[in-house]
Structure 1
């Protein structure tokens, strides 16, 4: 795992998102700037970690980062501008609220909409290669999971405590039985041909 590409000379922020493939809830994104000497033995892609590890690492990230920020884009905005643009917008919003201005941006994935003319680099599976992207993936994931668990208190029938809004059989079946809420993304379709929404 590498710390950064240009951190010796530039203030570098790693960005990642969570919740892109969900049927319900916002998409979240985070941006993280680490000090030059930061290191951690288990910090990696959030999908490779247990919920307990993610929670522990979130505290470490928030304590050790020079700056971090988390932002979201609502289901209504996702429906209006599409999920790809919404993911980039969430990253831009996170970058907007960093207490340090990034001079170089590392982005997980293969696409990004340029942000304020700041140079950036897209890295496929970057959350397994760069510490700042891995940290951003953990923050985006844990903040989003907490948000969906809170929503589940009001809408327990959709199983959001377990599925976090992803298109599980449980979630799709609950939609067929109970209909859509204002937290659902109405432009997303259920892929199982046995469970059609439209």
Structure 2
């Protein structure tokens, strides 16, 4: 989660599920209200067989690029699992994980695979909580509401105050801010784009 945000980490959740009936209403986290998503995440943490979270910091995103940062975060989530899964289901069409894992990509997997949907909900709730905590000392940026994504409040604060220590300084938004453009970092990605890949892992075996 958070791959398109201007601030904060990218977060990956690895979730292993059994054969039990999933909680009612489980789907892509982005299709749920904040209240329902938060309630469902609490249920899912007990429902899944196991789960683990991995993060890559804004500095790591700037240094490595988004694809490598996602791989790093996913590796951290995998390493934190109590068991090693037989296979990995990644949401989207890109395999950013690679060997030695046996990977299957599923477009819109968070709407069709319970493991990926569970990972999606847990990851988003956790990252949103992290961003709200990071925003305590930077209230003008509205991180508690926008989670580091480019909302009007976020854009206004950024133009007036410049980036916080939690901003990704390789992102293209700095190109439109002449007074802060000198802070931009050169990314290792050659095209400077954000790959269209999801920031969740689902495991189902």
Displacement, 1:98? Answer: 0.8
Q: How is 1:114-193 mapped onto 2 (pairs within 5 angstroms)?
A: 114=97, 117-190=100-173
Is this contact kept in 2: 1:92–1:115, CA < 8 A? Answer: no
User: Could you say what the CA RMSD is over the residues aligned between the two structures, in angstroms?
Assistant: 1.7
User: Structure 1: 5+ residue runs without aligned partners?
Assistant: 1-17
Matches within 5 A, 1:83-102: 83-102=66-85
Rounded to whole Å, the distance in 2 between the matches of 1:114 and 1:179 is 34
Q: How does 1:55-74 map to 2 (within 5 A)?
A: 55-74=38-57
Does structure 2 retain, via aligned residues, the 8 Å contact 1:23–1:166? yes
Where do residues 37-56 of structure 1 align in structure 2 (5 Å cutoff)? Answer: 37-56=20-39
TM-score, with normalisation over the residues of structure 1?
Answer: 0.85
Aligned-pair CA distance for 1:50: 0.8
**Higher RCO (C-alpha under 8 Å, 6+ residues apart):** 2
Secondary structure of the 1:190 match is helix
* TM-score in terms of structure 2 length: 0.82
Runs of 4+ in 1 over 3 A off after TM superposition: 113-116
Q: Which runs of 5+ in 2 are unaligned?
A: 182-205
Contact 1:24-1:166 within 8 A present in 2 as well: yes
Q: Does 1:113 align with 2:76?
A: no
